[in-house]
Structure 1
Amino acid sequence: MWTRIGLKANAKKLLMKNYWRIVLVAFILALVSGGVSATINAQLNDYSSSVVEKSMENMKMPSGDISDGTMAAQIFRKNFFDTYNQINQEMYNVMKNIDWFKIQMIMLLGLLMAVAYIVFSAFIFAPIEIGCRRWFLMNRTGKPEIKEIVSCFTDGYINTVKIMFCQKLFIGLWSLLFIIPGIIKAYEYRMIPYILAENPDISFKDAFAGTKQLMYREKWDAFVLDLSFIGWVILASLTSGILSILFVTPYRCLTNTELYVALKTKTN
């Protein structure tokens, strides 16, 4: 039976054994397994803020001592409709000046970039992720070379691409059902990268059956294990991510590797 304390203690011992290589591989793993963050249009934000501020200014009740409530209500109503008409006019001006052809081109470009990212992620990032997992497994008993992180390109490449793509696809489809099923499936399929790291030629059926067996009745405990790193994540955010690179991410990678080994030992 594994415990969070035991896994983390083993991870800390391993971190001190091969520190700088662990930091490097963990950083690469974080890059290839992370998502693409969305960006915000600054000009749109500025415009929205200015409209809101102007609206709030116009909506203010008149200052001074007004004893006639009816007069105050009339002034407020006038300001309200003036502001409403001004916002409508502003929106009309914006819509009138939009170049719809450019909008369509931007949407098409965004779609092409999304498709390119999916393809690049499947054929480049996924094999590197498996290579990093393999490196961490080998690091438990030795000092593997950094080149191990690209070993999947010559060992079970197509099989790795296929299974990892299906893993992410299935999680994405399950996530369409109000998110929660996607989270559950993400934990159920969590060990697929490690299974592929040890056996890159494993069949599709055996890979998914293997991760389900390993994570059977272990999903909640794995979730709690992830939650136990929240304090470190918050602390790392206060250091502009430096602590995350130098300690938190390697620590989590090693702990996850220890979790896989513990689950595998338990089921054998």
Structure 2
Amino acid sequence: MADALRIDERDDRIVATLDRPEVRNAIDQAMVDELHALCERLERSPRLLILHGAGGVFASGADIAQLRDRTSADARQSINATVFDRIRRLPMPVIAAVDGYALGGGAELAYAADIRIGTDRVRFGNPETGLGIIAAAGATWRLPEIVGHARASELLLTGRVIDGPEALMWGLLSALHAPDDLLPAAHALADRIAANDARATELTKRLLLTASAEHLALVGEIQAELFDSDEKRRRMTAFLERKKSR
């Protein structure tokens, strides 16, 4: 059986391409298992992650044939929610390069990324209520954080699908690119992130995921660690020397 993910591994990043084009990259149990295995590697050896879909589609959603046969016991295991939460909490940033359909579980996978870029061809939507279920893998809590409560309510309660320009206007995407430029644009973002101090990047992401009530207590401790680092002194010295030479 072919792998559901195609992995391109580099020193500072991994590109994971959802690769089930015959079913528009629908997320089945095999893909979930491979995403867990990928997360285990990135938790052990933190690197940037770029998520991408084969065949001009990000992910058309969960595999409905499998979903139809799942029971209440399966629902309580939160199969997709668990792996998407693991992706959300990876130590280093996650970039979703979204083209074509990102529906249902596919949309929720994109919502779990730190940064989302896309194309005009993007189609975001959560049609779950039309199938007699709810969007239970992150949409009801991540989407309001991204686009606000009112817009999230509209998408989740109506099942409406939005295109790339509307997703950009709403802030669901941070940039639009031509399809052929999408993956290079994701790498350009990754290059900018990788040029920064890895530990400072990791700790910034940690703070972005920290509840506001805990934020104040934690931010001082994190900054204290960085203030004493050799990398901070090296980078600031280089900055001052560049400024002096102008």
Q: Which has the higher helix share?
A: 1
TM-score, length-scaled by structure 1: 0.23
Q: Which has the larger radius of gyration?
A: 1
Which is richer in strand?
2
Greater relative contact order (Cα < 8 A, sep 6+): 1
